Structure 1
Amino acid sequence: MTVAYIPKLKHYYIADGGLAPMPSEFESAASKSQIHAYDDTGKYINSSKPGYDNRSIYYNPNSNKLETVTYNVSSDVGFSPNTGIYSIDLTDTGELKDTSGDVFGFNPAFGDAATMPSYNPETKQYYAKQERSNKVWVVDLKSRDKVGEISLDLTKAGVAFDDISDHFVAYSGVKGEELVVLDVDHKAALIFDLNGKYVGKSELPKSLKLHAQNHYNGTGYANNMLFVYRENEGEFGTYYGFNVLN
């Protein structure tokens, strides 16, 4: 659903999602969703199937791990197996393995089941966009309740909540321009600070073809770029990265 980048390895990682964990006759419940690795030129390396219905993937410099947040991390729609936050195992050269480790179990502080949280390594907090709203919940894993709520000033930005990505807000790491949201309907990246104040926008190419699904998935932020998924390009679609901050 999103994109991660590990600077030391110069590898990108893209997480699929949408396939719920299903048990079989011989195996415990596991999702068939995959994670894919690419080098920094976009060349495909390999794929893995660690068993999670991924919603957000990111590199955590604090743990030095590639980590994934699953669908329903909050247990908003009831408990399900393989739900929470997990670390994805890699080889020394950055190839994906099918194995993984536990990071954290479900936490209701994330709110909506389909949220695609972004991670702030400085504060060790997550920003979880809530669907059909301008609300971003701030999550600290030590708490079972949100530790903050950010209201994005969409009025100042000249958009409505249904113009923008429904489940994803990016954390950029740039002071005063920390939060980035994809404006699907107007083909732009909207920039906000951590108080929700509208800072500005960066227009995306007019030729970029976005679809309804870009409201719900197919976004990401890694290596200082906002990534947008084009479903109809390439055999399985293509992610494009845009530098949207000054």
Structure 2
Amino acid sequence: MFSPIKSRRPGPSRSNAPPRSSGPSPGDYSPSPDESDDFPPAWARAVTRFSTISGALSLASHELKSLKSVPREKIASEEPSQSSRITRTRSLIMLGQRIDFSFQTGPRYLKGKGLPVYALANASEGELTRHVAHAGEKVMEPFGLRRIRVRIQWPYPRGGEVSRMVYEEWIKVELHMSRVQLAMSVARVFRTFFEKHRVVLTTLPDYTWLLRPDGYHRVWLTGLERTENNVFEADLRYVKDYPDPQP
């Protein structure tokens, strides 16, 4: 299986690009590592609807609307020394180079809405193949890359404004890698991101994109967008507050 080969926390860029956000400072939060998560009884029902395949297939249209696209911002190019003409040309070439992930089964309104990250990281490849649209398509073949950096961005409040935590991880890819296999690898990257930064992100003051302690079960992956030569940014959706189920 395709596993991450390199992980790094958000920090100064190794390129000539301006340093990326290092995330909230220690003074921005008060972690309580020894405090156990306290989920209400209703959590079990909600988490099933938004994190599993069977739950997602049973979501009503109004429940699906509670998943909001996680905003991303443009990261400075890692090649500022090259001429703007070359940079612009490469940007135009990469524009639209995107890999989408979606259900092929279930209600029509579910199509094109992404897949639960928890399910992608925990369900078997065979089970996912039965439900993912174009699951076996060799999506990495057009790129000719042997490894890529998967980038995760997550917004958080900082000094009265919205900043973004940036996390990247290298993963191995093969030309014959299928859509399902790639989605599973990206889900594992998100899981690592969440495990590394959950104490910081879940203890910040309440705001639009507050990552809940059970946030790993609330995120869906809709696609990967190629923004640099070997950098693919994850497009995510997130449900901050579980909606009431239909009677």
TM range (shorter): under 0.3
Tell me which structure has the larger Cα radius of gyration: 2
Q: Greater strand share, 1 or 2?
A: 1
Q: TM-score, normalised by structure 2?
A: 0.26
Q: TM-score, normalised by structure 1?
A: 0.26
